[in-house]
Structure 1
Protein backbone atom coordinates (compact mmCIF):
# COMPACT_ATOMS: atom_id res chain seq x y z
CA UNK A 1 0.00 0.00 0.00
CA UNK A 2 1.38 3.39 -0.91
CA UNK A 3 2.25 5.75 1.90
CA UNK A 4 0.41 8.64 0.23
CA UNK A 5 -2.92 7.20 1.36
CA UNK A 6 -1.88 7.71 4.97
CA UNK A 7 -0.39 11.18 4.53
CA UNK A 8 -2.43 14.30 5.27
CA UNK A 9 -3.16 16.75 2.49
CA UNK A 10 -2.65 19.56 4.99
CA UNK A 11 0.84 20.56 6.01
CA UNK A 12 2.45 18.85 8.97
CA UNK A 13 4.63 20.43 11.60
CA UNK A 14 8.39 19.91 11.65
CA UNK A 15 11.02 20.42 14.34
CA UNK A 16 10.99 23.67 16.28
CA UNK A 17 13.92 25.95 15.64
CA UNK A 18 16.35 26.36 18.53
CA UNK A 19 19.12 28.84 19.25
CA UNK A 20 22.75 28.26 20.12
CA UNK A 21 26.08 30.05 20.18
CA UNK A 22 27.63 30.67 16.75
CA UNK A 23 30.10 28.11 15.52
CA UNK A 24 33.77 28.97 16.19
CA UNK A 25 36.17 29.34 13.30
CA UNK A 26 38.23 26.23 12.73
CA UNK A 27 40.86 25.47 10.13
CA UNK A 28 39.77 22.81 7.68
CA UNK A 29 42.08 19.96 6.71
CA UNK A 30 43.92 20.30 3.42
CA UNK A 31 41.64 20.02 0.42
CA UNK A 32 41.32 16.70 -1.38
CA UNK A 33 41.82 16.93 -5.13
CA UNK A 34 38.70 16.32 -7.21
CA UNK A 35 38.75 14.31 -10.46
CA UNK A 36 40.42 16.17 -13.31
CA UNK A 37 38.32 19.03 -14.62
CA UNK A 38 35.73 18.75 -11.82
CA UNK A 39 34.81 20.43 -8.57
CA UNK A 40 33.64 18.13 -5.78
CA UNK A 41 30.49 20.25 -5.46
CA UNK A 42 29.60 19.27 -9.02
CA UNK A 43 29.96 15.52 -8.36
CA UNK A 44 26.42 14.31 -7.60
CA UNK A 45 25.32 10.69 -7.48
CA UNK A 46 22.34 8.63 -6.35
CA UNK A 47 23.23 6.50 -3.34
CA UNK A 48 22.25 2.86 -2.81
CA UNK A 49 20.24 3.99 0.23
CA UNK A 50 18.02 6.20 -1.94
CA UNK A 51 19.42 9.68 -1.42
CA UNK A 52 21.42 12.07 -3.59
CA UNK A 53 24.99 12.77 -2.54
CA UNK A 54 27.11 15.77 -3.44
CA UNK A 55 30.88 15.54 -3.12
CA UNK A 56 33.70 13.12 -2.49
CA UNK A 57 32.28 9.65 -1.80
CA UNK A 58 35.35 8.92 0.33
CA UNK A 59 35.20 12.16 2.34
CA UNK A 60 36.36 12.01 5.94
CA UNK A 61 33.02 13.41 7.11
CA UNK A 62 29.76 12.18 5.64
CA UNK A 63 26.84 14.50 6.36
CA UNK A 64 23.35 13.15 5.81
CA UNK A 65 20.21 15.28 6.05
CA UNK A 66 16.65 13.99 6.20
CA UNK A 67 14.28 16.83 5.33
CA UNK A 68 10.90 17.78 3.92
CA UNK A 69 10.19 20.16 1.05
CA UNK A 70 7.19 21.63 2.91
CA UNK A 71 8.91 22.08 6.30
CA UNK A 72 9.56 25.79 7.00
CA UNK A 73 12.50 25.00 9.30
CA UNK A 74 14.04 22.91 6.51
CA UNK A 75 13.71 25.91 4.20
CA UNK A 76 15.35 28.15 6.80
CA UNK A 77 18.20 25.68 7.24
CA UNK A 78 18.67 25.37 3.49
CA UNK A 79 18.82 29.15 3.05
CA UNK A 80 21.29 29.53 5.90
CA UNK A 81 23.53 26.56 5.13
CA UNK A 82 23.37 25.22 1.58
CA UNK A 83 25.80 27.65 -0.03
CA UNK A 84 28.38 27.30 2.76
CA UNK A 85 28.12 23.52 2.89
CA UNK A 86 28.73 23.42 -0.85
CA UNK A 87 31.49 26.02 -1.19
CA UNK A 88 33.40 25.58 2.07
CA UNK A 89 32.95 21.96 3.05
CA UNK A 90 31.93 19.84 0.05
CA UNK A 91 34.23 21.64 -2.42
CA UNK A 92 37.20 20.85 -0.17
CA UNK A 93 36.64 17.12 -0.58
CA UNK A 94 36.59 16.70 3.19
CA UNK A 95 32.80 16.53 3.56
CA UNK A 96 30.15 14.83 1.46
CA UNK A 97 26.53 15.94 1.74
CA UNK A 98 23.64 13.59 1.12
CA UNK A 99 19.97 14.60 1.09
CA UNK A 100 17.19 12.09 1.71
CA UNK A 101 13.55 13.10 1.59
CA UNK A 102 11.37 12.58 4.67
CA UNK A 103 7.89 13.40 3.38
CA UNK A 104 5.31 14.80 5.79
CA UNK A 105 2.17 15.32 3.70
CA UNK A 106 0.57 14.94 0.29
CA UNK A 107 1.98 18.08 -1.41
CA UNK A 108 5.43 17.15 -0.09
CA UNK A 109 5.05 13.67 -1.58
CA UNK A 110 4.19 15.03 -5.03
CA UNK A 111 6.98 17.62 -5.07
CA UNK A 112 9.46 15.04 -3.80
CA UNK A 113 8.64 12.58 -6.55
CA UNK A 114 8.99 15.30 -9.18
CA UNK A 115 12.35 16.51 -7.87
CA UNK A 116 13.80 13.00 -7.55
CA UNK A 117 12.46 11.70 -10.87
CA UNK A 118 14.78 13.97 -12.86
CA UNK A 119 17.89 12.18 -11.60
CA UNK A 120 21.06 13.27 -9.76
CA UNK A 121 22.09 16.00 -12.22
CA UNK A 122 18.88 18.00 -11.70
CA UNK A 123 18.08 17.15 -8.10
CA UNK A 124 19.89 19.85 -6.14
CA UNK A 125 18.81 22.60 -8.52
CA UNK A 126 15.18 21.58 -8.07
CA UNK A 127 15.72 21.35 -4.32
CA UNK A 128 16.94 24.96 -4.32
CA UNK A 129 13.85 26.03 -6.29
CA UNK A 130 11.32 24.22 -4.12
CA UNK A 131 12.80 25.75 -0.97
CA UNK A 132 13.18 29.25 -2.43
CA UNK A 133 9.56 29.24 -3.65
CA UNK A 134 8.12 27.19 -0.77
CA UNK A 135 5.33 29.53 0.29
CA UNK A 136 4.18 30.11 -3.28
CA UNK A 137 3.92 26.55 -4.54
CA UNK A 138 2.39 25.27 -1.29
CA UNK A 139 -0.33 27.93 -1.06
CA UNK A 140 -2.71 26.50 -3.71
CA UNK A 141 -2.92 23.19 -1.86
CA UNK A 142 -4.36 24.95 1.15
CA UNK A 143 -7.13 26.39 -1.03
CA UNK A 144 -8.44 23.13 -2.47
CA UNK A 145 -12.20 22.97 -2.07
CA UNK A 146 -13.94 20.37 0.03
CA UNK A 147 -15.42 18.98 -3.18
CA UNK A 148 -11.97 18.53 -4.72
CA UNK A 149 -10.63 16.88 -1.59
CA UNK A 150 -13.56 14.48 -1.44
CA UNK A 151 -13.10 13.63 -5.12
CA UNK A 152 -9.42 12.93 -4.52
CA UNK A 153 -10.29 10.46 -1.80
CA UNK A 154 -12.47 8.49 -4.23
CA UNK A 155 -9.74 8.03 -6.83
CA UNK A 156 -7.67 4.85 -7.05
CA UNK A 157 -4.60 5.23 -4.89
CA UNK A 158 -2.21 5.23 -7.85
CA UNK A 159 -4.03 8.23 -9.36
CA UNK A 160 -4.35 10.37 -6.25
CA UNK A 161 -0.88 11.92 -6.24
CA UNK A 162 -0.97 13.06 -9.86
CA UNK A 163 -4.45 14.54 -9.56
CA UNK A 164 -3.60 16.31 -6.31
CA UNK A 165 -0.51 17.79 -7.92
CA UNK A 166 -2.60 19.00 -10.85
CA UNK A 167 -5.14 20.65 -8.57
CA UNK A 168 -2.34 22.33 -6.63
CA UNK A 169 -0.78 23.80 -9.76
CA UNK A 170 2.45 21.81 -9.66
CA UNK A 171 2.27 20.91 -13.35
CA UNK A 172 2.62 24.58 -14.30
CA UNK A 173 5.22 25.24 -11.61
CA UNK A 174 7.60 22.48 -12.71
CA UNK A 175 7.04 23.18 -16.42
CA UNK A 176 8.77 26.52 -15.87
CA UNK A 177 11.67 24.60 -14.33
CA UNK A 178 12.29 22.20 -17.16
CA UNK A 179 9.77 19.41 -16.50
CA UNK A 180 7.25 19.14 -19.37
CA UNK A 181 3.75 17.83 -18.85
CA UNK A 182 4.54 14.38 -20.27
CA UNK A 183 7.38 13.97 -17.76
CA UNK A 184 5.15 15.27 -14.95
CA UNK A 185 2.56 12.59 -15.74
CA UNK A 186 5.17 9.89 -16.12
CA UNK A 187 6.89 10.62 -12.80
CA UNK A 188 3.73 10.86 -10.75
CA UNK A 189 2.30 7.68 -12.27
CA UNK A 190 5.43 5.58 -11.70
CA UNK A 191 5.02 3.14 -8.79
CA UNK A 192 8.80 2.77 -8.52
CA UNK A 193 9.15 6.50 -7.78
CA UNK A 194 6.45 6.35 -5.13
CA UNK A 195 8.03 3.29 -3.54
CA UNK A 196 11.41 4.99 -3.34
CA UNK A 197 9.86 7.92 -1.44
CA UNK A 198 7.95 5.55 0.85
CA UNK A 199 11.13 3.60 1.54
CA UNK A 200 13.02 6.75 2.54
CA UNK A 201 10.33 7.76 5.02
CA UNK A 202 10.31 4.25 6.50
CA UNK A 203 14.09 4.36 6.71
CA UNK A 204 13.99 7.67 8.59
CA UNK A 205 11.40 6.42 11.07
CA UNK A 206 12.39 2.80 11.52
CA UNK A 207 16.16 2.75 11.02
CA UNK A 208 17.18 6.16 12.35
CA UNK A 209 14.21 6.68 14.72
CA UNK A 210 13.72 10.24 13.48
CA UNK A 211 10.62 12.13 14.55
CA UNK A 212 10.91 15.41 12.67
CA UNK A 213 12.72 17.49 10.08
CA UNK A 214 15.36 18.57 9.47
CA UNK A 215 17.43 15.80 11.06
CA UNK A 216 21.15 15.24 10.58
CA UNK A 217 23.48 12.26 10.72
CA UNK A 218 27.27 12.64 10.75
CA UNK A 219 29.31 9.54 9.98
CA UNK A 220 26.36 7.36 10.93
CA UNK A 221 25.53 9.11 14.21
CA UNK A 222 22.23 10.97 14.60
CA UNK A 223 22.83 14.51 15.86
CA UNK A 224 20.30 14.84 18.64
CA UNK A 225 18.84 18.30 19.19
CA UNK A 226 20.57 19.81 16.15
CA UNK A 227 18.22 21.71 13.85
CA UNK A 228 20.11 24.87 12.80
CA UNK A 229 23.24 25.51 10.80
CA UNK A 230 25.08 27.20 13.64
CA UNK A 231 24.68 24.03 15.72
CA UNK A 232 25.53 21.68 12.87
CA UNK A 233 28.66 23.54 11.80
CA UNK A 234 30.14 23.03 15.26
CA UNK A 235 29.55 19.29 14.88
CA UNK A 236 31.10 19.25 11.39
CA UNK A 237 34.19 21.09 12.51
CA UNK A 238 34.62 18.73 15.47
CA UNK A 239 34.34 15.72 13.15
CA UNK A 240 36.96 17.21 10.81
CA UNK A 241 39.61 17.57 13.52
Structure 2
Protein backbone atom coordinates (compact mmCIF):
# COMPACT_ATOMS: atom_id res chain seq x y z
CA UNK A 1 0.00 0.00 0.00
CA UNK A 2 2.73 2.47 0.97
CA UNK A 3 4.79 1.65 -2.12
CA UNK A 4 1.71 2.14 -4.30
CA UNK A 5 0.83 5.42 -2.57
CA UNK A 6 4.15 7.10 -3.19
CA UNK A 7 4.62 5.54 -6.62
CA UNK A 8 1.40 7.34 -7.52
CA UNK A 9 2.95 10.62 -6.44
CA UNK A 10 6.02 9.94 -8.55
CA UNK A 11 3.96 9.15 -11.62
CA UNK A 12 1.70 12.18 -11.30
CA UNK A 13 4.59 14.58 -10.73
CA UNK A 14 6.29 13.97 -14.07
CA UNK A 15 3.70 15.43 -16.45
CA UNK A 16 3.12 18.42 -14.16
CA UNK A 17 6.82 19.29 -14.14
CA UNK A 18 7.16 18.85 -17.89
CA UNK A 19 4.57 21.44 -18.84
CA UNK A 20 5.81 25.00 -19.16
CA UNK A 21 3.93 27.18 -16.75
CA UNK A 22 3.10 30.86 -16.80
CA UNK A 23 3.53 32.23 -13.28
CA UNK A 24 0.14 32.72 -11.68
CA UNK A 25 -1.29 33.22 -8.25
CA UNK A 26 0.61 31.94 -5.25
CA UNK A 27 -1.78 29.84 -3.14
CA UNK A 28 -2.83 31.59 0.05
CA UNK A 29 -1.57 30.35 3.39
CA UNK A 30 -4.14 28.10 5.06
CA UNK A 31 -4.46 25.97 8.18
CA UNK A 32 -3.10 23.01 6.21
CA UNK A 33 0.27 24.73 5.76
CA UNK A 34 3.26 23.94 7.96
CA UNK A 35 3.97 27.28 9.62
CA UNK A 36 6.80 28.30 11.91
CA UNK A 37 6.62 31.61 13.75
CA UNK A 38 3.93 33.94 14.99
CA UNK A 39 0.67 33.89 13.06
CA UNK A 40 0.48 37.69 13.09
CA UNK A 41 4.05 38.26 11.85
CA UNK A 42 4.10 41.14 9.34
CA UNK A 43 6.08 39.17 6.73
CA UNK A 44 5.32 35.74 5.31
CA UNK A 45 8.13 33.77 3.69
CA UNK A 46 7.07 30.73 1.67
CA UNK A 47 9.63 28.15 0.63
CA UNK A 48 9.04 25.43 -1.95
CA UNK A 49 11.63 22.72 -1.40
CA UNK A 50 12.44 19.05 -1.74
CA UNK A 51 14.00 17.00 1.02
CA UNK A 52 16.39 15.38 -1.48
CA UNK A 53 17.41 18.71 -3.06
CA UNK A 54 21.07 19.45 -2.27
CA UNK A 55 20.61 23.21 -2.69
CA UNK A 56 17.67 23.10 -0.28
CA UNK A 57 19.76 21.16 2.21
CA UNK A 58 22.61 23.63 1.89
CA UNK A 59 20.27 26.56 2.56
CA UNK A 60 18.77 24.90 5.61
CA UNK A 61 22.16 24.00 7.03
CA UNK A 62 23.97 27.28 6.38
CA UNK A 63 21.41 30.10 6.07
CA UNK A 64 18.35 28.94 7.98
CA UNK A 65 19.82 28.99 11.54
CA UNK A 66 20.69 32.68 11.36
CA UNK A 67 17.55 33.49 9.35
CA UNK A 68 15.46 31.87 12.08
CA UNK A 69 17.31 33.73 14.83
CA UNK A 70 16.95 37.12 13.18
CA UNK A 71 13.47 36.94 11.73
CA UNK A 72 11.34 34.02 12.96
CA UNK A 73 12.35 34.02 16.62
CA UNK A 74 11.87 37.80 16.80
CA UNK A 75 8.32 37.69 15.41
CA UNK A 76 9.14 39.49 12.18
CA UNK A 77 8.53 36.51 9.86
CA UNK A 78 6.29 33.49 9.71
CA UNK A 79 7.88 30.71 7.66
CA UNK A 80 5.83 28.39 5.46
CA UNK A 81 7.43 25.22 4.06
CA UNK A 82 5.75 23.63 1.05
CA UNK A 83 6.73 20.37 -0.59
CA UNK A 84 7.86 20.09 -4.19
CA UNK A 85 9.47 16.63 -4.39
CA UNK A 86 12.30 16.21 -6.90
CA UNK A 87 14.08 13.16 -8.27
CA UNK A 88 14.31 10.51 -7.00
CA UNK A 89 10.61 11.23 -6.57
CA UNK A 90 9.63 8.14 -4.52
CA UNK A 91 12.34 8.93 -1.94
CA UNK A 92 11.48 12.63 -1.80
CA UNK A 93 7.75 11.95 -1.58
CA UNK A 94 8.09 9.41 1.23
CA UNK A 95 10.31 11.78 3.21
CA UNK A 96 7.77 14.57 2.68
CA UNK A 97 5.04 12.22 3.86
CA UNK A 98 6.95 11.34 7.03
CA UNK A 99 7.37 15.03 7.83
CA UNK A 100 3.67 15.67 7.18
CA UNK A 101 2.77 12.80 9.50
CA UNK A 102 4.91 14.09 12.37
CA UNK A 103 3.45 15.65 15.48
CA UNK A 104 2.48 19.24 14.59
CA UNK A 105 5.28 20.80 16.61
CA UNK A 106 7.89 18.42 15.20
CA UNK A 107 7.52 19.11 11.46
CA UNK A 108 10.47 21.49 11.19
CA UNK A 109 12.62 19.23 13.34
CA UNK A 110 11.92 16.36 10.93
CA UNK A 111 12.81 18.31 7.80
CA UNK A 112 15.94 19.59 9.56
CA UNK A 113 16.90 16.00 10.35
CA UNK A 114 16.45 14.99 6.73
CA UNK A 115 18.49 17.93 5.46
CA UNK A 116 21.31 17.25 7.94
CA UNK A 117 21.35 13.61 6.84
CA UNK A 118 21.70 14.37 3.14
CA UNK A 119 25.49 14.07 3.09
CA UNK A 120 25.47 10.41 4.10
CA UNK A 121 22.56 9.69 1.77
CA UNK A 122 24.26 11.33 -1.22
CA UNK A 123 27.48 9.48 -0.42
CA UNK A 124 25.65 6.25 -1.20
CA UNK A 125 24.33 5.41 2.23
CA UNK A 126 21.16 3.32 2.48
CA UNK A 127 17.89 5.21 2.44
CA UNK A 128 16.21 3.20 5.23
CA UNK A 129 18.26 4.77 8.08
CA UNK A 130 17.61 8.21 6.60
CA UNK A 131 13.86 7.59 6.70
CA UNK A 132 14.22 6.15 10.21
CA UNK A 133 15.97 9.31 11.41
CA UNK A 134 12.96 11.33 10.32
CA UNK A 135 10.57 8.99 12.09
CA UNK A 136 12.70 9.19 15.25
CA UNK A 137 12.40 12.99 15.20
CA UNK A 138 8.67 12.95 14.44
CA UNK A 139 7.22 12.39 17.88
CA UNK A 140 5.29 9.43 16.43
CA UNK A 141 5.83 5.69 16.41
CA UNK A 142 6.67 3.86 13.20
CA UNK A 143 3.19 2.31 13.26
CA UNK A 144 1.58 5.76 13.54
CA UNK A 145 3.69 7.09 10.66
CA UNK A 146 2.82 4.07 8.50
CA UNK A 147 -0.89 4.52 9.18
CA UNK A 148 -0.66 8.21 8.31
CA UNK A 149 1.24 7.49 5.09
CA UNK A 150 -1.49 5.05 4.10
CA UNK A 151 -4.16 7.71 4.64
CA UNK A 152 -5.27 9.15 1.26
CA UNK A 153 -5.39 12.61 2.87
CA UNK A 154 -1.58 12.56 3.15
CA UNK A 155 -1.20 12.00 -0.57
CA UNK A 156 -3.83 14.62 -1.34
CA UNK A 157 -1.97 17.17 0.78
CA UNK A 158 1.24 16.46 -1.11
CA UNK A 159 -0.53 16.67 -4.46
CA UNK A 160 -2.07 20.01 -3.45
CA UNK A 161 1.37 21.38 -2.60
CA UNK A 162 2.75 20.28 -5.97
CA UNK A 163 -0.27 21.72 -7.80
CA UNK A 164 0.13 25.02 -5.97
CA UNK A 165 3.78 25.21 -6.95
CA UNK A 166 2.90 24.53 -10.56
CA UNK A 167 0.17 27.18 -10.53
CA UNK A 168 2.64 29.73 -9.16
CA UNK A 169 5.17 28.92 -11.87
CA UNK A 170 7.71 27.31 -9.55
CA UNK A 171 10.17 25.35 -11.68
CA UNK A 172 12.92 24.41 -9.25
CA UNK A 173 13.89 24.10 -5.64
CA UNK A 174 14.38 25.92 -3.44
CA UNK A 175 12.08 28.76 -4.48
CA UNK A 176 11.22 31.53 -2.02
CA UNK A 177 8.43 34.09 -1.91
CA UNK A 178 8.40 37.07 0.46
CA UNK A 179 4.89 38.44 0.96
CA UNK A 180 3.90 36.86 -2.35
CA UNK A 181 6.85 38.13 -4.39
CA UNK A 182 9.47 35.72 -5.67
CA UNK A 183 13.00 36.31 -4.38
CA UNK A 184 15.92 35.23 -6.52
CA UNK A 185 18.70 36.04 -4.06
CA UNK A 186 18.08 33.59 -1.22
CA UNK A 187 21.23 34.38 0.71
CA UNK A 188 20.74 35.89 4.15
CA UNK A 189 21.56 39.30 2.71
CA UNK A 190 19.15 38.86 -0.19
CA UNK A 191 16.28 37.75 2.00
CA UNK A 192 17.01 40.52 4.49
CA UNK A 193 16.74 43.07 1.69
CA UNK A 194 13.42 41.57 0.57
CA UNK A 195 12.02 41.48 4.10
CA UNK A 196 13.21 44.88 5.27
CA UNK A 197 11.45 47.82 3.57
CA UNK A 198 13.76 50.33 1.93
CA UNK A 199 13.72 53.69 3.71
CA UNK A 200 11.63 56.30 1.95
CA UNK A 201 13.82 59.15 0.75
CA UNK A 202 13.12 62.42 2.48
CA UNK A 203 11.17 64.85 0.31
CA UNK A 204 12.93 68.05 -0.55
CA UNK A 205 11.22 71.19 0.49
Distance 1:240 1:137 in 2: 45
1:194-205 equivalent positions in 2, closer than 5 A: 194-205=155-166
Structure 2 length as normaliser, TM-score?
A: 0.74
1:68-217 equivalent positions in 2, closer than 5 A: 68-104=50-86, 105-137=89-121, 139-140=124-125, 168-169=128-129, 172-177=132-137, 178-206=139-167, 208-217=168-177
**How far is 1:96 from its partner?**
1.3
**How far is 1:49 from its partner?**
6.1
**Deviation digits for residues 155-202 of structure 1, max 9, x if unmatched?**
xxxxxxxxxxxx745554345435433123212211110110111011
Paired residues, what number? 177
Maintained 8 Å contact 1:7/1:106 = no
**How far is 1:239 from its partner?**
6.8
**Contiguous gaps of at least 5 residues in structure 1:** 9-46, 142-166
Which of residues 45, 51, 66 is equivalent to 2:48?
66
Q: CA 1:227/1:172 → structure 2, altered by over 3 Å: closer, same or farther?
A: same
**Contiguous gaps of at least 5 residues in structure 2:** 15-28, 201-205
Structure 1 length as normaliser, TM-score?
A: 0.64
Q: CA 1:240/1:168 → structure 2, altered by over 3 Å: closer, same or farther?
A: farther
Which of residues 173, 179, 200 is equivalent to 1:219?
179
What does residue 231 of structure 1 align with? Answer: 190
